C-alpha cells in the first residue's frame, strides 16, 4: 500500500492528506487558501511520453518525449481543439515525415503569434532515458503556418538547422518591433553554451545566427552545461539556469538592440554566481516588475546519476543587483524535498520516481510550477522571503498508456506534470508526460492576475494582459 504524506511548503503549516485512487502518495489535497479545479482533459490517445506545449487561440499543440519507433503510438505533434476548454478534442497530428520520425523527439514548442507560426524543436533522443531508436538525427527547428484553417493541419513553411544542438530555447519578441524575434538557445553539448538566432524572416526560410557565448569557469568539470534561460522583457538581461553552476546573469543588451557583431558579457561575475548542492538550476524565470527571479531544479530518481530524494525544488532570488544575486527563500514539497526525511521514502519511489520541480510560469504574485509527481504546485511570492502554497492539482492517472516514461513514470508514481504552464484567457493549460493535456482554473489569492491574462508562458516574453 502506498504511503500517504501531507504536503507542506517552505515554513508553512502541513496540508492535511487525503487518500487517492492513484498510487502516488500525494492528494490532491485541499488548500487552506485556494484551489485548482479541472476544467477539461485530453488523454492524448493515451500515448504517454508527452512533451512541450504551445497554445494558440482555439488549439493546443503537444510534442513527444520519444520518437517514431514502431512501438510508439501517435509519435508526432498532436493538435487539440480547445474552443470549448471543457471538452478538448483531437483534431489532427503532424506526423512523419515532418514530425515523429525514428530517433527524433519533438521536445520544445512555441507559437510566434505575430507571424502565426508554430515552432517545433526536434533533436535526437536517448535510447535509455526516452526509449528511442539508436540513430543519428540532425537538430532542426521547423516552422509551421497555423493561420486560419491551417491551425488544424499546420503547413510546414521552413526548416532551420542550428549550427549547434539546442536543448531548450527562449522566444523573445522585440517589444519595439513585433516583426523582429530572436531565439536564445541553450546548446549544452556544443562548443558554445548559448546561440542566438534572428528568426524574423522565418517565413522566407532565412535565419541569421547573430551571437554566441560561453562562460569561462576557472574549474570546468562534467555537466558544465547551460540548461535553459529567460530574458527580461526588454531583452537586455538574461537569467541563466546552469547545471552544476547554479544561477547567474549576462548582459544581452547589444543583442536586443540589434548591434552589428553584438557582444554578450557577464552581468554577474563568475565568482559571485549562486551555486547549491546537487544538479543545480533547471529553469529561471523573472517575476514581473519585482527584481526577483524564480528558479527550479530538476532531479530524476536514484536510478539516474545524482538522482533520488530530496530531488529538487524552487528558490526565489533577489536580482536587483545583477553583480550580486542573493537567494531569499526556498519552497519545497515535504517530505520529498527534505533530506532529513528521505528515510521515509520507499526504495522503489526513490529509485524510479521524481518529486522534483520542473517548469514554472509566474505572474506578479503567483507561480505555477509543474512539479513532476507532486502535480501542479501554485505558490504565492507576495512575501518573497516566505513563499507559500496556495493550491495544488494532482491529476488522476490513466489506467494504462502505450509508453511509460522509462525514467519518470515506470515506478510507483504515475503523475508527471512537465510542461511550462500556459495561461490563456484566464485558464491554465499544462501537460502531464503520462496522462495528457489538462485545462485548469485557479481560484484563490491574487486570482485576478490569472483571470485578466490573455496569454502568458514561462519560456517567452509574449504576454497579453487585460484588454
Is residue 3 assigned to a domain?
no
253: cell is 543588451
Is residue 267 assigned to a domain?
yes
Secondary structure (DSSP) of 308-343: STT---EEEEE-SSTTS-EEEEEE--TTTT-GGGGG
Residue 46 phi/psi, 5-degree rounding, is 55, 35
The answer to whether the beta carbons of residues 464 and 452 sit under 8 Å apart is no
Tracing cell 507542506 back to the chain, one arrives at 8
Write out the E strands in 125-279.
140-145, 155-160, 168-173, 181-186, 194-201, 206-213, 225-231, 237-243, 246-251, 265-266
Number of domains in the chain: 1
Secondary structure (DSSP) of 138-180: --EEEEEE-SGGGGTS-EEEEEE--SS--SEEEEEE-TT-TT-
Is residue 434 assigned to a domain?
yes
59: cell is 488549439
Is residue 162 assigned to a domain?
no
Tracing cell 500515448 back to the chain, one arrives at 47
* CA–CA distance, 223 with 221 (Å, rounded to integer): 7
- Which residues, given as ranges, of the chain have pLDDT below 70? 1-32, 190, 219-224, 465-467
405: cell is 516514461
* CA–CA distance, 212 with 193 (Å, rounded to integer): 8
Is residue 56 assigned to a domain?
no
* CA–CA distance, 93 with 75 (Å, rounded to integer): 9
Q: What is the reported pLDDT for 215?
A: 83
Nearest in space to 8 (alpha carbons), one of 460, 341, 347: 341
Reduced to 3 states (helix: H, G, I; strand: E, B; else coil), residue 74 is coil
**Residue 393 per-residue DSSP state:** E
The answer to whether the beta carbons of residues 254 and 264 sit under 8 Å apart is yes
Helix and strand counts by DSSP (H, E) for the chain: 3, 30
Nearest in space to 16 (alpha carbons), one of 6, 26, 2, 3: 6
Residue 264: give its domain's CATH number: 2.130.10
For residue range 36-53, what is the model confidence (pLDDT) as tens digits? 999 999 999 999 999 999
Q: What is the reported pLDDT for 304?
A: 87
Q: Say which residues have a Cβ less than 8 Å from residue 269's Cβ, sequence separation at least 6.
A: 323
CA 368 to chain centre: 11
Is residue 330 assigned to a domain?
yes
Give 287's strand partners.
292
Among left, alpha and beta (phi > 0; psi -120 to 50; other), residue 103 is left
The answer to whether the beta carbons of residues 42 and 436 sit under 8 Å apart is yes
- Where does 302-437 have alpha helices with state H? 347-352
* CA–CA distance, 319 with 303 (Å, rounded to integer): 35
Number of Cβ within 10 Å of residue 400's Cβ equals 10
Nearest in space to 422 (alpha carbons), one of 385, 381, 376: 376
Residue span of the structural domain in which 415 resides = 35-48+170-464
Nearest in space to 81 (alpha carbons), one of 40, 38, 142, 36: 40
447: cell is 486570482
- C-alpha distances in angstroms, 399 versus 46, 49, 171? 9, 15, 36
Q: What is the reported pLDDT for 187?
A: 92
Is residue 72 assigned to a domain?
no
Q: What is the reported pLDDT for 127?
A: 79
Q: Would you give the end-to-end CA distance of the chain in angstroms?
A: 50
Residue 226 phi/psi, 5-degree rounding, is -75, 120
Is residue 440 assigned to a domain?
yes
Amino acid at each position: 500500500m502506498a504511503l500517504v504524506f501531507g504536503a507542506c511548503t517552505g515554513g508553512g503549516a502541513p496540508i492535511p492528506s487525503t487518500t487517492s485512487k492513484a498510487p502516488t502518495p500525494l492528494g490532491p489535497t485541499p488548500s487552506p487558501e485556494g484551489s485548482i479545479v479541472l476544467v477539461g482533459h485530453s488523454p492524448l490517445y493515451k500515448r504517454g511520453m508527452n512533451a512541450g506545449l504551445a497554445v494558440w487561440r482555439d488549439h493546443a499543440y503537444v510534442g513527444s518525449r520519444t520518437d517514431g519507433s514502431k512501438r510508439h503510438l501517435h509519435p508526432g505533434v498532436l493538435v487539440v481543439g480547445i474552443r470549448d476548454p471543457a471538452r478538448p478534442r483531437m483534431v489532427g497530428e503532424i506526423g512523419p515525415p515532418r514530425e515523429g520520425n525514428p530517433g527524433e523527439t519533438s521536445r520544445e514548442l512555441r507559437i510566434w503569434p505575430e507571424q502565426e507560426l508554430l515552432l517545433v524543436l526536434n533533436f535526437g533522443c536517448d535510447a535509455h532515458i526516452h526509449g528511442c531508436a539508436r540513430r543519428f538525427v540532425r537538430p532542426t527547428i521547423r516552422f509551421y503556418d497555423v493561420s486560419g484553417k491551417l491551425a488544424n493541419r499546420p503547413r510546414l513553411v521552413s526548416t532551420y538547422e542550428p549550427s549547434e544542438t539546442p536543448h531548450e530555447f527562449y522566444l523573445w519578441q522585440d517589444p519595439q518591433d513585433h516583426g523582429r524575434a530572436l531565439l536564445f538557445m541553450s546548446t549544452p553539448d556544443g562548443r558554445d553554451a548559448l546561440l542566438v538566432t534572428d528568426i524574423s524572416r522565418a517565413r522566407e526560410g532565412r535565419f541569421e545566427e547573430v551571437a554566441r557565448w560561453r562562460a569561462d569557469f576557472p574549474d570546468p568539470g562534467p555537466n558544465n552545461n547551460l540548461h535553459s534561460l529567460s530574458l527580461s522583457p526588454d531583452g537586455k538581461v538574461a537569467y541563466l539556469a546552469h547545471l552544476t553552476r547554479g544561477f547567474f546573469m549576462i548582459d544581452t543588451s547589444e543583442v536586443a538592440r540589434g548591434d552589428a557583431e553584438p557582444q554578450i558579457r557577464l552581468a554577474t561575475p563568475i565568482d559571485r554566481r549562486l551555486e547549491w548542492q546537487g544538479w543545480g538550476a533547471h529553469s529561471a524565470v523573472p517575476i514581473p516588475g519585482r527584481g526577483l527571479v524564480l528558479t527550479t531544479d530538476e532531479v530524476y530518481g536514484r536510478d539516474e546519476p545524482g538522482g533520488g530524494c530530496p530531488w529538487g525544488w524552487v528558490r526565489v532570488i533577489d536580482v536587483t543587483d545583477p553583480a550580486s544575486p542573493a537567494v531569499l527563500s526556498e519552497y519545497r514539497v515535504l517530505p520529498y524535498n527534505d533530506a532529513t526525511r528521505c528515510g521515509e521514502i520507499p526504495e522503489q519511489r526513490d529509485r524510479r520516481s521524481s518529486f522534483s520541480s520542473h517548469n514554472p510560469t509566474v505572474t506578479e504574485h503567483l507561480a505555477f510550477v509543474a512539479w513532476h509527481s507532486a502535480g501542479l504546485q501554485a505558490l504565492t511570492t507576495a512575501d518573497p522571503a516566505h513563499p507559500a502554497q496556495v493550491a495544488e492539482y494532482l491529476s488522476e492517472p490513466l489506467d494504462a498508456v502505450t509508453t511509460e516514461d522509462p525514467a519518470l513514470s515506470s515506478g510507483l508514481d504515475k503523475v508527471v506534470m512537465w510542461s511550462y504552464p500556459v495561461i490563456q484567457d484566464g485558464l491554465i493549460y499544462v501537460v502531464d508526460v503520462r496522462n495528457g493535456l489538462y485545462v485548469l482554473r485557479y481560484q484563490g489569492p491574487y486570482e485576478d492576475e490569472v483571470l485578466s491574462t490573455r496569454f502568458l508562458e514561462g519560456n517567452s516574453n509574449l504576454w497579453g494582459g487585460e484588454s
